[in-house]
Each structure stands twice: as C-alpha cells, then as structure tokens.
Structure 1
C-alpha cells in the first residue's frame, strides 16, 4: 500500500496545470497583440496543444475523478504534452538550420485550411516553413519554442504525477 504524499493532491496538480496553461496562453496572446509578434503555424499549433491540456485539466479539476479517471485525465494531458512538445521540437530544429536549408515560406493558415484537403493542410502545417524558422523573441538566450518545449516537459511531468497512486485524491 502506498502512502499519499502530504502536500500533493491530484486536484492541486490539475489546478497547477490549468493555471500554467492559461498563463502561457495569456502571455502568447500578449506578445501577439501588444508586442506585435505574429505567430507562425507551428506556434498556433503549440497554442492549441496548451489549450487542449488546459481543457483536460479543467474537466479533471471539476469532476475530481477516482484512480481510473485520474489515469485517463493524466494520459490525455500527457498526450497533449507529447504532441505539443514534438511540435515545439520541430520548430526549434527549424530555427537551428542554416539559412540556406530553411524551407521557403508557405501559404497562410487560412488559405491552407480553406483550399487544401484537411490531411494535406495538416501535413503542410506540421512541416513548418520559413516563418517558423525566424527567431524574433528570446529570453536568456532561448527562443519562444525553446521555452514552450520546456513548458510541455514540465506539464507532462505534472500530468504523470497527477495519476500516481501515491498522490492523494
């Protein structure tokens, strides 16, 4: 039998994940609308993964599930974290390419989803383009996708912790 950790509860972890996601999304919107940084397709995709993770955390916080539900909630949040982390890694990789190897800029997101079949638009979106390789913001030498990847890793660990049997309900 496992002993619950005294401070941690699944509900506190769900609230932590929700607040982190809301904070990260709020800062992304702040940089877009007040600093004038226009998000590329990969940035928008990362935002979508943060929003999905926040929605899972909110539902889990409200429903306060028992162990099986905690496994499901933790698994869904971990899946969002892995998906978002993969997209962030792709963008970090694009940013590390020499300028001559950066892919050409592609069509806008609106054009892709209105004129291309969904599968092709999604594939084009995931490939990224020249806009995604541009570094326009840094903090302590790390670009926004680097920080996003760090956020996905931390939130993924919190999602795993929320499902552990030793964390009290």
Structure 2
C-alpha cells in the first residue's frame, strides 16, 4: 500500500500543510470570533502546528523522504507531549491547580527565553480551564491531530519510490 503512495508524496505533504494551516485558522477563529482566550500551552501547541506545516511544506517542495519523516516524527512528538501535559493539568482537582501566572507576552519580555519556556511547561491555572469544541476539550483535539499528522506524515514520507 505504501508503495502506491510514494509517487504522490508531494501532493500528500501539501495536503498535510493545508491541514495544519486549517487547524491554525480554526484556532484563530476560536480566539477572535468565539472569544476563547488561548493559554500559554495553547500558544505553544499552535507553534508546533506551524512547525509541522513548515516541515510538510518542505516535503511538498523537495519530495519528502527520511529527513522529512524524521522531522515530522520529532515535531509531532513534541506536540503530543504538550497536549498530554495540557490534559494532565486539566485533570487536576481544583485545589491542586497551579496559580495563574503572568501572560506569555509579559513573560517573554521580562524573563530569558528558556526560563519562560520552563514556566509555561510547568503550567498555570489558565491552562487548567476546559473549553470544549464538539464535546471534547481542545487539548484532546490537538492530541488527536498531532498523532494522526505525525503517524501518517512519517509513514508517507518513509514510503519507498518504485524502483528504489
């Protein structure tokens, strides 16, 4: 089956890019139209979707292959880790939720970059708030998207070309 996919790798990578762009557009729609304010972990997950989009675009431009497959696997794994961390924070009992911290804009301006990353990954109260779309929390949706995009993108870019 994967052998029949390999000649269409550029188009499938372009489709992966389009899916990532659509997910980002959906996130901005939820923010700007529906009024759902993203927490710092949500913003980091958006950055990972943007990075995935860039890797898919590279695969579309250069025909994919092992390097693109590896980059997709690593990037999607980072997204999975962020989504799982977000889900864990949302599962905490109210008395164990970390206190709300300063906004991401303030942290980026006031602290060194890696200290800001560390603070965001430790979580805050705003990351524990649960907003649902079609019955599932947003981190569940992002987890599913990272898994599907990572697995499918990696496999399609590992597919061998006929005669190779």
Q: Does 1:122 align with 2:117?
A: yes
**Is the Cα–Cα contact under 8 Å of residues 83 and 142 in structure 2 kept in the other structure?**
yes
**Is the Cα–Cα contact under 8 Å of residues 13 and 59 in structure 2 kept in the other structure?**
yes
Aligned length: 163
Cα separation, partners in 2 of 1:98 and 1:6, compared to 1, 3 Å: closer
CA deviations on 1:129-161 (whole Å, 9 max, x unpaired) are: 000000122323x10010000000000111221
Q: TM-score, normalised by structure 2?
A: 0.91
- 1:151 pairs, out of 145, 148, 159, with 145
- 1:162 pairs, out of 129, 134, 156, with 156
Q: TM-score, normalised by structure 1?
A: 0.89
Cα separation, partners in 2 of 1:62 and 1:3, compared to 1, 3 Å: closer
Q: CA deviation at 1:90?
A: 0.5
2:133 matched residue in structure 1: 138
**Is the Cα–Cα contact under 8 Å of residues 10 and 167 in structure 1 kept in the other structure?**
no
CA RMSD, Structure 1 to Structure 2 (Å): 2.1
Give runs of ≥4 in structure 1 deviating > 4 Å: none
Q: Does 1:77 align with 2:76?
A: no
Q: Which has the higher helix share?
A: 2
Give the secondary structure class of the aligned counterpart of 1:145.
helix
1:42 matched residue in structure 2: 41
Q: Whole-Å Cα distance in 2 between the matches of residues 98 and 8 of structure 1? A: 50
Q: Whole-Å Cα distance in 2 between the matches of residues 165 and 146 of structure 1? A: 29
- 1:108 pairs, out of 103, 106, 111, with 103
Give the secondary structure class of the aligned counterpart of 2:20.
helix
1:89 matched residue in structure 2: 84
Unaligned runs of 5+ in 2: none
CA deviations on 1:113-142 (whole Å, 9 max, x unpaired) are: 1111222111001111000000122323x1
Q: Whole-Å Cα distance in 1 between the matches of residues 39 and 52 of structure 2? A: 20
Q: CA deviation at 1:9?
A: 2.6
